[in-house]
Amino acid sequence: MLTIVSDLFLTDSFLIKGEIENKYTRLQNLLDEHRRYFIKVRNATLVDLNTCDRITTPVLHINMDEILLAHEFLDTASDPRQAELFRLQKFHKVRVFFTGHLNLEVGGEVRPGSYEVDDRATRRFFAMRAPVLRGFNSREDPDLNLLSKLSYVIVNKTRLSYIYDFNGE
């Protein structure tokens, strides 16, 4: 069984860490299925991307449209099904660019066409493995440095402005 530890969100202004209230499934599925404008996060810490100042609050509501990237810290050692899915999956190398104030570029590997509106496996969010972030200054902040060490990120497709698919698709 998976142990859900914590959730992480990146917006144009903040890195947000906390736990989604009443989480019932994996983060990517929850984000894809969420039908409200805001998602409720408990025990939230917001790290300002410009100043590294921190704000902590017991409850934070995040506008779904503000989320650029998300990540779920999990103990995946006991998830052989997920490992098998990754082993059998075909991936394309892509580089994505976001709309908004943050000049963020993320390169990594995705399922072919996962960023399209007609992708049958996803709605608004898709997973990218082995992400490499560019255009982002962590200012040696330990929380912001987490972004360069993630094994995957969940990407909000509605916030993408450009996608370069290295496979020509």
Q: Where are the beta strands (DSSP E) in the chain?
A: 3-10, 14-20, 38-48, 54-63, 69-75, 92-98, 105-110, 125-134, 152-156, 160-165
Tokens of 97: 């660019």
- Give percent above pLDDT 70 in the chain: 88
- Please give the class, per CATH, of domain 3-165: mainly beta
Its pTM stands at 0.87
Our CA angle for 13, 62, 3, nearest 5°, is: 105
Q: pLDDT digit string (tens) for 4-60?
A: 448 999 999 999 999 998 888 889 889 988 889 999 999 999 999 999 999 999 999
For the chain, the domains span 3-165
Tokens 């992480």 correspond to 8
